[in-house]
Amino acid sequence: MNNFIYQNPVKIVFGKGQIAKLPELIDANKTILMTYGGGSIKKNGVYDQVKKALAGRKLLEFGGIEPNPRYETLMKAAEVCKKEGVSFLLSVGGGSVLDGTKFIALAANYKAGDPWDILAKQATANEAIPLGCIITLPATGSEMNSGFVISRESTKEKLASGNPLVYPLFSILDPETTFTLSKEQTANGIVDAFVHVMEQYMTYPVYTPLQDRQSEAIFLTLIEEAPKVMENPQDYNARAAIMWTATQALNGLIACGVPQDWATHMIGHELTAFYGLDHAKTLAIVLPGILRHQLKNKEKKLLQYGQRVWKINPTKSDATLKAIDKTEKFFRSVGIKTKLSEYGIGKEKFSEIADRFRRRGMRLGEHQAIGSEQVIEILNLCL
Ligand code: NZQ
Ligand code: ZN
């Protein structure tokens, strides 16, 4: 097991009706900016619940944060924070609103230059407006981590960063808020959470029996619960199980002491930047390609995964490929396509995408075995 430090300060407030706890969670003297997206919270009653819970508080609003939140929009919110003396940010919505809010929290106080440097140059911001969230889409794990992914429209970039200062102080997870998710968004969330576990599990063994079993528990729970929510969007128990599972998939716990990959996400982010595909849709395409390309490097974990998750006999010669096929079938079972060609995308931009990694001097994967040439090979496997 590799050395690790683990600390996660996020207070999770889980269950029905928990939005009403907001007044206990935010100090009375705060000037609050509620951030949200394109209006889902107004349709499903979450907005009204927040307004009711925070009646009498100094509460401002900033709506219109896009899926794949944009730097250009977020900088406007950062200006509002400065102008209005905002001292608490409350993110209400999916991972995009929350990631955007984390960036706003840092950008509002960033004096060392252009806040885009936080993403492009991984510049460290030393101050942040404290934040909390109500997460309405189980997927990203953003509610219990310090990461954020921001897109810049003008340059077609999508970059990730992180800062311990933007761990939410609290995250409210009310599974009832997820009843209104479309089948498509529900499936996106399931695939995203599944791939988060893959990035932390599907590498090479370093003797982490507990972490492996925790990861496998997440895979199995998603596989078991997915058909239930796809069939019945108002199945509270299944929604609750998926919500907590998605949080566990990226809150640092299963990352303890293990090598990590993240190549699927890095290549996936470029597909979103170039083609505007939803985050999870890019992952469902890239992951099978990477697994097939890195078959030898990942062989031991693929065999373990195949046996424990899909009951595939590891002594059979095609056991690793079968495990990949099963994974792809699972994504397809919730309606997510797994090939670029299914979105009408061909090879045209492959070299431009690969070139971005070359220029950043980035090699991907747990062995840094994926350079720009391999990115093209992998994308060819995704056609
Ligand atoms: O904008 P609104 O109107 O709120 O609608 C959203 C949006 O259109 C809608 N939605 C959210 N909750 C809903 C709902 N509709 C009905 N009922 C509800 N309860 O769903 C749409 C998608 O929302 P979005 O927030 O974009 O989805 P998600 O939570 O999947 O977030 C995706 C973003 O997170 C980043 C991705 O790259 C992407 O930008 N990620 C962040 C990570 C992190 N911080 O750790 C890790 C992930 O790997 C991921 O990269
Ligand atoms: Zn993801």
The 10s digit of each residue's pLDDT in 62-121 is 999 999 999 999 999 999 999 999 999 999 999 999 999 999 999 999 999 999 999 999
Query: For 360, which DSSP code?
Result: T
What is the average per-residue pLDDT within 25-36? 98
CB 240 within 8 A of CB 175: yes
Is any atom of ligand 1 closer than 6 Å to the C-beta of 171? no
pLDDT in tens, 206-262: 999 999 999 999 999 999 999 999 999 999 999 999 999 999 999 999 999 999 999
Which pLDDT value is given to residue 60?
A: 98
Q: How far is CA 84 from the centre of its chain?
A: 30
Residue 24: which residues within 8 A CB-CB, separation 6 or more?
Answer: none
Helix, strand, coil percentages, rounded to 5, for the chain: 50, 10, 35
Q: How far is the CA of 246 from the centre of ligand 1 (A)?
A: 13
Kindly report the number of other CB atoms within 10 A of residue 259's CB atom.
Answer: 17
β-strand pairing of 157-162 with 147-152: antiparallel
How does residue 168 score in pLDDT terms, banded at 50, 70 and 90? very high
Atom of ligand 1 nearest to the CA of 65: 1
Instruction: For residues 302 and 381, give the distance between their C-alpha atoms in angstroms, rounded to a whole number.
Output: 18
Which pLDDT value is given to residue 138?
A: 98
pLDDT in tens, 274-301: 999 999 999 999 999 999 999 999 999 9
State the CATH class of domain 181-381. mainly alpha
Indicate the length of the chain as a whole number.
383
Domain definitions of the chain by residue range: 11-177, 181-381
CA-nearest residue for atom 7, ligand 1, is: 67
pLDDT in tens, 347-375: 999 999 999 999 999 899 999 999 999 99
Atom of ligand 1 nearest to the CA of 189: 30
Atom of ligand 1 nearest to the CA of 46: 19
Which pLDDT value is given to residue 324?
A: 98
Q: How far is the CA of 144 from the centre of ligand 2 (A)?
A: 13
Is any atom of ligand 1 closer than 6 Å to the C-beta of 289? no
Q: Is the pTM above the cut of 0.95?
A: yes
Give the ligand at the shortest distance from the Cα of 162.
1
Q: How far is the CA of 88 from the centre of ligand 2 (A)?
A: 26
CATH number, domain 11-177, options 3.40.50.300, 3.40.50.1970, 3.30.70.2190, 3.20.20.70:
3.40.50.1970
Is any atom of ligand 1 closer than 6 Å to the C-beta of 95? yes
* Listed residue (186, 159, 177) closest to 69, CA to CA: 159
CA pseudo-torsion sign 287, 292, 297, 303: positive
Q: How far is CA 133 from the centre of its chain?
A: 15
Give the ligand at the shortest distance from the Cα of 98.
1
Instruction: For residues 93 and 189, give the distance between their C-alpha atoms in angstroms, rounded to a whole number.
Output: 13
Which pLDDT value is given to residue 182?
A: 98
Which pLDDT value is given to residue 156?
A: 92
Atom of ligand 1 nearest to the CA of 97: 25
Which pLDDT value is given to residue 181?
A: 98
Provide the terminal-to-terminal Cα distance of the chain, rounded to the nearest Å.
Answer: 37
The angle that helices 183-201 and 236-249 make with each other, rounded to 10 degrees, is 40
Which pLDDT value is given to residue 207?
A: 98
Is any atom of ligand 1 closer than 6 Å to the C-beta of 282? no
User: To test the ligand 1 pocket, which listed residue (102, 171, 279, 287) has its Cβ within 8 A of the most ligand atoms?
Assistant: 279
Give the ligand at the shortest distance from the Cα of 269.
1
pLDDT in tens, 131-157: 999 999 999 999 999 999 999 999 999
Is any atom of ligand 1 closer than 6 Å to the C-beta of 73? no
Give the ligand at the shortest distance from the Cα of 191.
2
